[in-house]
């Protein structure tokens, strides 16, 4: 067992290292911006004194390395600095009400996005596995071919196309779900669920296809092995052979692909949140990109990258744990 722990620690350390380098990449990329933030905040009204004072306030007069470690240290404590847009607004209105720090702004939206991702996963994972098992069971039948065409089409469609199709059929023509996902903090769980149903269904369509195809492929790969033939010769029903005998051994690749697809959800969520005006971190990210609110863009990027790396790491560790051959490397 000690062996496994070492491997997991190695992977964790590698993941942390990757994250560190990614944070450097994000920081350097943002610092490639021409001019500086102080000037862009003040715009045409920039006097040298005002620019200098803002530079001092935001710490822009420090060398880049110092600023990087300040930013990283802050980010580790959950302090991503203050949003330029909000700070600007606060200085104009003269009040300091509302959330001006990036962390305060992101926290509720992050919770919303996690909620959406979890609803999606709760629908998509069982759906994909059941479809995959059925497609493996009735392989090369009309059902298999129809699912193949359907899933291939839904992987290849852009997210906004699927989103508009769902809006068209389930919000406009048959008003079952709302087409706009306005979510407030004091909403009940069932209300939240109803409002986030269409975005969740869109994301489900996007990720199910890949998971289902992998499930089918993993099971079919195993069907040629001799122990499956043995089970079949015993006279077990095809369903029992697949669910009891093949599925547990196919679990490693399936878990792997599920984790990878949840990681994919993170990028898919951006477009879907914009279509449905879902108040999540993806929407915030796109808005900040448009108004060049650098601290928010940096923070969102770092959060997305962290989630992505974590899920990839989980996939890695899961596949080691479920595969004895990887658990005891030569």
Partner 1 sequence: MIFGIVIALVGMAALAWGFRFAGQAITGNTPRFRDMPFGVAYGYVLGVLLLAWLVWAYIQGRSADPLIANKFFFLRIAVEGFLIFAVAAWLFRLLGRSVGTAWSRKMFRSMPLTASFGILTILIYATFAIFAGLIAPYGQEQILPGVAANIVPGGDPALGGDPAFLFGTDQIGRDILSRLIYGAQNTVGIAFATTVLAFLLGGTFGFLAATLGGWLDQVLSRMVDVLMAIPSLIFALLLMTIASVWAPQLGIPLTVFMVVIIAVIDSTRVYRLARAVGQNIVVMDYIEAAKLRGEGLGYLVFKEILPNATAPLLAEFGLRFCFVFLTIAALSFLGVGIQPPLADWGTMVRDLGGFVNYAQFAPLAATAPLLAAGAIALLTVAVNFVVDWMLHRSSGLKE
Q: Which residues bind partner 1 (CB under 8 A)?
A: 18-19, 21-22, 25-26, 29-30, 32-35, 138-140, 142-143, 149, 152-153, 155-161, 164-165, 167-169, 172-174, 179, 220, 237-239, 263, 266-267, 270-271, 274-275, 285-286, 289-290, 292, 297, 300-301, 304-305, 308-309, 312
Report the Cα–Cα distance between both ends of the chain, in Å, rounded: 15
Closer residue to partner 1, CB minimum distance, 4 or 194: 194
Burial class of residue 239, CB neighbours in 10 A (0-12, 13-18, 19+): exposed
Asked whether the beta carbons of 124 and 259 are under 8 A apart, the reply is no
Least Å from the CB of residue 133 to partner 1:
11
Closer residue to partner 1, CB minimum distance, 173 or 233: 173
Least Å from the CB of residue 162 to partner 1:
8
Closer residue to partner 1, CB minimum distance, 18 or 101: 18
Alpha helices in the chain (DSSP H): 2-30, 37-42, 48-58, 64-76, 84-93, 102-137, 142-156, 159-167, 189-195, 197-222, 226-233, 238-240, 247-276, 281-291, 294-321, 324-327
Least Å from the CB of residue 324 to partner 1:
25
Least Å from the CB of residue 77 to partner 1:
23
Burial class of residue 90, CB neighbours in 10 A (0-12, 13-18, 19+): middle
Closer residue to partner 1, CB minimum distance, 93 or 169: 169
Closer residue to partner 1, CB minimum distance, 4 or 72: 72
Least Å from the CB of residue 268 to partner 1:
8
Burial class of residue 112, CB neighbours in 10 A (0-12, 13-18, 19+): buried
């Amino acid at each position: 067992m000690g062996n496994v722990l070492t491997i997991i620690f190695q992977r964790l350390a590698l993941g942390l290292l990757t994250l560190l380098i990614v944070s450097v990449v994000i920081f350097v990329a943002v610092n490639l911006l021409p001019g500086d933030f102080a000037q862009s905040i003040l715009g045409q009204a920039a006097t040298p004194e005002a620019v200098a004072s803002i530079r001092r306030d935001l710490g822009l007069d420090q060398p880049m390395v110092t600023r990087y470690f300040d930013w990283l240290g802050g980010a580790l404590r959950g302090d991503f600095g203050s949003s330029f847009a909000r700070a600007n607004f606060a200085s104009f209105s003269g009040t300091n009400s509302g959330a001006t720090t990036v962390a305060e702004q992101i926290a509720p939206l992050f919770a919303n996005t996690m909620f959406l991702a979890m609803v999606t996963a709760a629908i998509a994972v069982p759906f994909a596995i059941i479809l995959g098992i059925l497609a493996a069971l009735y392989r090369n039948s009309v059902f298999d071919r129809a699912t193949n065409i359907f899933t291939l089409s839904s992987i290849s469609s852009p997210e906004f196309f699927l989103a508009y199709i769902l809006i068209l059929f389930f919000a406009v023509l048959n008003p079952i779900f709302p087409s706009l996902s306005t979510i407030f903090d004091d909403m009940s769980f069932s209300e939240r669920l109803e409002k986030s149903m269409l975005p969740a269904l869109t994301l489900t369509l996007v990720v199910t296809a890949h998971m289902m195809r992998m499930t089918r492929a993993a099971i079919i790969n195993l069907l040629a092995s001799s122990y499956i033939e043995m089970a079949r010769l015993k006279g077990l029903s095809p369903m029992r052979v697949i669910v009891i005998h093949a599925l547990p051994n196919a679990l490693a690749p399936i878990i792997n692909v599920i984790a990878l697809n949840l990681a994919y959800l993170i990028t898919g969520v951006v477009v879907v949140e914009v279509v449905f005006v879902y108040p999540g971190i993806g929407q915030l990210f796109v808005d900040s990109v448009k108004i060049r609110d650098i601290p928010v863009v940096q923070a969102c990027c770092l959060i997305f990258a962290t989630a992505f790396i974590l899920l990839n790491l989980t996939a890695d560790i899961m596949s080691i744990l479920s595969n004895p051959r990887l658990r005891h490397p030569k």
